[in-house]
Amino acid sequence: MTDDLAALTARYPGAQTFRFGDGPGMCAELLALVRAGRKTATCGAAAEYAPDDPALPVVGRRDIALNWDGTPALVIETLHVERRRFCDMDADFALAEGENEDLAGWQRDHRAYFERNGGFDPEMELVCERFRMVEDLG
């Protein structure tokens, strides 16, 4: 049975909520990759965050990933956070995102994602997070 959000935030104090992707299909696909152990990293445009934004990932914090409809899907714990430019992405991190077979596929798909969501620049800074799944709520 899926816990409601209030109970989860009480169990994981300080947890932030977020959705993977930019639509219901992508969200479901990315959650499935996390559940399968294939997705252990994610990134987002640094420009989307204010310097003191509580949504920024924090090492050791446990956050709640939501289904697209806003119901809790799983809990992750942030293991590592770094900033790097899109053009400096390496295959190790790209493959840890679990969505592509190689760096070129990651670059193609993430460029399209960023173009849909606020703009793309090859030198744009990304917030890159490695995580582990703590609890599957589905």
Q: List, for residues 7-46, the tens digit of each pLDDT value.
A: 999 999 999 999 999 999 999 999 999 999 999 999 999 9
Which residue type sits at 138?
G
> Which domains are assigned to the chain?
5-136 (3.10.400.10)
Q: Are 78 and 57 in contact (CB under 8 A)?
A: yes
Q: Are 133 and 42 in contact (CB under 8 A)?
A: no
**Model confidence pTM above 0.85:** yes
Tell me the pLDDT band of 51, cut-offs 50, 70 and 90: confident
User: Distance between alpha carbon 131 and the CA centroid of its chain, in Å?
Assistant: 9
Tell me the pLDDT band of 3, cut-offs 50, 70 and 90: low
* Separation between Cα atoms, residue 20 and residue 7, nearest integer Å: 21
> Left, alpha or beta for 14 (phi > 0: left; psi -120 to 50: alpha)?
left
Specify the higher pLDDT residue, 79 or 6: 79
DSSP class per residue in 63-87:
EEEEPTTS-EEEEEEEEEEEEEEGG
Computed over every residue of the chain, the mean pLDDT equals: 95
